Amino acid sequence: MATLVRTMLPTLWSDPFASDWTRSLVRDVDRAFQEMDALMERFFDWARPAWMPSVEVFDTDTEYIIRAELPGFRKEDVRVTLVGDQLTLEGERKPDSRFEQARVHRAERWYGTFRRTFVLPFTPGDSPVEARFKNGVLTISIAKPEAQKPRHIAIK
């Protein structure tokens, strides 16, 4: 944005006959925009999400299933935490150190940490919760408490 102001005011910026007052005004405006730029940059940096693994949620009659794609992760790299009705997945994928020195031709895969929280439609309490990890897919099955299971009503 500061660049924009400078291109918008080229004559004032370079005019040797502009008064000191005009020049100082232009400088102030320019500085204000520069500060705004920095602020916006910081805001967007903060607002930009880290990568998020793809997740699929299935609501079956007996279970609530959360399935996350975590290719290249091992069991030890992922943590699953349940607090009340909130289930959090977090983990980290590190780049392969064997290719640190290599020339990169394509880089489409993501690396780094992620954290994703799901609010369940019920509080599992003592219901069995099972997490399985296979071929880079994490599947968490949360058994529904009796009260959450659908009841079929007979029509008289």
Q: Using CB under 8 A, list all residues that contact another protein.
A: 56, 58-60, 65, 67, 69-74, 96, 99, 102-110, 135-137
Smallest gap from Cβ 97 to another protein, in A, equals: 12
- Closest to another protein by CB, 60 vs 123, is 60
Smallest gap from Cβ 125 to another protein, in A, equals: 24
Closest to 84 measured CA to CA, from 130, 53, 118, 57 = 118
Smallest gap from Cβ 102 to another protein, in A, equals: 4
Smallest gap from Cβ 95 to another protein, in A, equals: 8
- Closest to another protein by CB, 102 vs 154, is 102
The answer to whether 65 and 57 have CB atoms below 8 angstroms apart is yes
SS3 111: coil
Smallest gap from Cβ 80 to another protein, in A, equals: 17
The answer to whether 49 and 13 have CB atoms below 8 angstroms apart is no
Phi, psi of 56 (to 5 degrees): -120, 130
Q: How far apart are CA 116 and CA 91, in angstroms?
A: 9
- Closest to another protein by CB, 35 vs 59, is 59
Letter string b/e over residues 12-35, b meaning 16 or more CB atoms within 10 A of that residue's CB: ebeeeeeeeeeeeebeebbeebee
- Closest to another protein by CB, 107 vs 154, is 107
- Closest to another protein by CB, 78 vs 87, is 78
